[in-house]
Chains A and B, each alone.
Chain A
C-alpha cells in the first residue's frame, strides 16, 4: 500500500473516504443534507461559531478532560506506560457531549425547532437530551427495546431531562433499529427537525462534522502528553462501535509517523461464534444508514444482527473513515470479547478506582494484551470515553450478583 502525504484531508467533495462514505439517502432528506453541509461550511468559516462551542465545552461540559497516568495499571501490566484520556469525566459521563454541543449549535443556526437522536447505550441519548434541555428544544430519542431494558438508568435520565424516549421494537431492537426509526422520523418531520447523529456515520457531512467535533479529544491529548512527557505517544487505543470517540482521538495523530493506532471492535462471544459486532474483522463493504462502509451482512446483502455486552458497540457497521483507514492500513482494527471486556472492567475499577463504561473496557482489554510486552518507556494513550455507572446492572447480571 502506497503511503499518502496526509490521512487527514478526507472526505472528498462527494463525501467519500476512498470507496466509503457518500450520501446514500432518500430524496426527501437530500435537500436538508445539502443544507446541513452549507450551514456547516458557513459555521466553519465563522470564528464566533467555534468561540461559542469552546465556551460550552469549557464551562458546561468541563473540558479539557484530564490526561491521567494510570500508574497502578501500568505497574500491574509491567510494561508500557498507560495514560487515560478521561472523557468519562465530561458532563453527562462520556465523550458524546462534545458532538452534541456542536450539532445543537448548528441546529440553532439552521432554525430547526425539534431534535431527534438515536441511542444505543443511552450515552448519546442523554447527551442529546441534555443539550436539547439547555437550548430549550423538544427532543425525541429512539432506543431499541433491548437497550431500553439493559440501560434503564440512562432511560430515566433522558426522561428527567425532558426528552421523549421511544422504544424501538423492530429488527434486533438495538442501535441499528433505533437508527432506522430515527431516519423514519426525520423523513417525516424534515421541515423542522434536526437529527443529531451520535457517531461518525450517516450520510455526508455527518461523518466529517462528528469527527471534527470529537477531535477536541485528540487535540487536547496531544498537548497534554507533550506537557507531561515532552513527546507524542507511541500507541493510541480506543474502542469502536460507530467509532466517534476513536475518530476523535485518532484524527489529530493520523499524519504522525510511527504512532501505532489501534481501534478495538466488540467481539461479543468471539468472532468465530458469529455472535459479535466486529464489522471490519467480520464484515464486508455495503451500504446502510446513508454511507458505504464495512457491514455485518449475509450473502444476500441482508444486514445481520450484531452482538455485544456493550450496547454502545452493538452495531453492525462502522464509520466510513475508519473503513478507509483500515483499507489504507493506517489504523489497525482488532477486537475484544465480552469476557475480556468484563475482566478489564473489574480490573480498572479495583486498581484505578475508575469504573469504566463497558465500551472503553474493550479498549482496556486490548491494552491488557499489548502493554505487558512493550518497553517501559512506550507511551500508550487510551480513550476512557465513558463511565460505567450505566453498566452496573449488566455487569452484576453477568457476574451473577443480585442488586
Chain B
C-alpha cells in the first residue's frame, strides 16, 4: 500500500495523466471544533481538493496573518492537540487512501511530542508529509532527515528571497513537492502575481524535477486559475479560515453553514484550477 512520499508522488502522477495542476487546500485542524473539522476534511476530496494541508495550531504562528492566527486559537480553544490532529487524519484515512495529507505548522509541538514518537504516530495516522515553517535547511538534522528516513515527504518552502546561490541547499532534501511562497510576507497579506510567480517557478524548475506548488496570496478562482497555469499546483489557505470565521455564530461556534461554506468555496476554487491551461508541466515522468 502506498503511503507517505509515495502517496504524494502517485497523486502528482495522476494529475499529470489528467493534464491538470493540483488544487491544495489548507484548513486548520480542529477549527472551529473537532467534529466540524472532521466533516470538512471528509468532504474536501469530493469538492475538488487534490491535496490537503492540515494546519497544526500553534500559539505563536510567526509567519501567519490574523486569519490563520485566529483559526489556530479557535482550534486550541476547542481542544485541539497534535495527538488529536493525528486522530483526525487517521479518521479521514479510513475513508480515503489516495488524497495526500500534509501537516503544516511550526516545530515546537512536534519537538514536544518527540520526533521519533511523532514520526511513528504520523505514519500510522496516514500523514504523508510535513511543511515546517521554522525549519530551514540549516536545521535539517532536527526533523527533515528523520522524516525522509521514515518514508514521509518533507516539503520545503522556497521564497522570493531564496536566490540561485541558496536554492540548491533548499532543494537538497526536499521531497514530495516544492512549496513556492509567492511573496515575502505573512499569510493572507498579499496577492500572488502570476507573471512574477511564473518566472520564479521557471527558475526553480531549472534545478529540480519535483512538482512546484505555489501558495500565499491566492484566494479567488481567477487567481487559482492564473497560478495553476504557471505551476504544478495552487494552495489556498486564508480564504478557508475566513470562510470558517464568517460562518460562525455570535459565540464563535460552528453553524449548519460552516461545512458547506468551506466545501462550496473548495468547489469554486477547484473549478478555477481546472480551468487553467497549463503552460508548463513539471515533475519527473513516471
Q: Which residues of A contact B (CB under 8 A)?
A: 14, 22-32, 170-171, 176-177, 180, 183-184, 187-191, 285-290, 292, 295, 297, 299-303
Min C-beta distance of B70 to chain A, whole Å = 9
Which A residues are in CB contact (< 8 Å) with B66? 170
Q: Assess whether B185 is in contact with A187, with CB atoms less than 8 Å apart.
A: yes
B234 interface residue (CB < 8 Å to A)? no
Q: Assess whether A14 is in contact with B186, with CB atoms less than 8 Å apart.
A: no
A22-B139, A25-B136, A171-B60 are known contacts. Are A188 and B161 too (CB-CB below 8 A)?
no
Q: Assess whether A26 is in contact with B108, with CB atoms less than 8 Å apart.
A: no
Which A residues are in CB contact (< 8 Å) with B162? 27, 30-31
Min C-beta distance of A172 to chain B, whole Å = 9
Main secondary structure of the interface of A (DSSP, over half): mixed
A300-B82, A301-B109 are known contacts. Are A27 and B136 too (CB-CB below 8 A)?
yes
Contact of A25 among B69, B134, B160, B186 (CB under 8 A): B134
Q: Which residues of B contact A (CB under 8 A)?
A: 57-63, 65-66, 69, 76, 81-83, 106-113, 133-136, 138-139, 156-163, 166, 170, 181, 184-186, 189
Contact of B109 among A22, A187, A292, A302 (CB under 8 A): A302
State in angstroms the CA–CA spacing of A176 and B60 once bound together: 8
Which B residues are in CB contact (< 8 Å) with A188? 184-186, 189
Q: Assess whether B136 is in contact with A286, with CB atoms less than 8 Å apart.
A: no
Query: 8 tightest CB-CB pairs across the interface, nearest first?
Result: A301-B112, A301-B109, A188-B185, A28-B159, A300-B81, A183-B62, A301-B108, A24-B134
Nearest residue (CB) in B for A31 is: B161
Which A residues are in CB contact (< 8 Å) with B113? 301
Q: Assess whether A24 is in contact with B184, with CB atoms less than 8 Å apart.
A: no
Which B residues are in CB contact (< 8 Å) with A189? 184
Sample (20) of A-B pairs whose CB atoms are under 8 Å apart: A24-B134, A26-B62, A26-B63, A27-B181, A28-B160, A28-B184, A28-B185, A30-B166, A171-B59, A176-B60, A177-B60, A187-B63, A190-B161, A287-B107, A297-B112, A299-B81, A301-B109, A301-B112, A302-B57, A302-B58
Nearest residue (CB) in B for A181 is: B62
Min C-beta distance of A184 to chain B, whole Å = 5
State in angstroms the CA–CA spacing of A23 and B142 once bound together: 11
State in angstroms the CA–CA spacing of A131 and B133 once bound together: 32
Q: Assess whether A299 is in contact with B112, with CB atoms less than 8 Å apart.
A: yes
Min C-beta distance of A303 to chain B, whole Å = 5
Beyond A24-B134, A289-B62, 10 additional pairs, beta carbon < 8 A: A24-B135, A27-B156, A27-B158, A27-B161, A177-B60, A184-B63, A287-B106, A300-B112, A303-B59, A303-B108
Q: Assess whether B181 is in contact with A286, with CB atoms less than 8 Å apart.
A: no
Q: Which of B59, B107, B110, B111 is packed against the most chain A CB atoms within 10 Å?
A: B59
Which B residues are in CB contact (< 8 Å) with A27? 136, 156-159, 161-162, 170, 181
Contact of A170 among B69, B109, B133 (CB under 8 A): B69
Q: Assess whether B62 is in contact with A184, with CB atoms less than 8 Å apart.
A: yes
Which A residues are in CB contact (< 8 Å) with B134? 24-26, 287, 290
Which B residues are in CB contact (< 8 Å) with A286? 108, 111-112
Contact of B138 among A30, A287, A288, A292 (CB under 8 A): A30
Q: Which of A27, A29, A30, A170 is packed against the most chain B CB atoms within 10 Å?
A: A27
Which B residues are in CB contact (< 8 Å) with A32? 161
Q: Assess whether B181 is in contact with A24, with CB atoms less than 8 Å apart.
A: no
State in angstroms the CA–CA spacing of A378 and B259 once bound together: 69
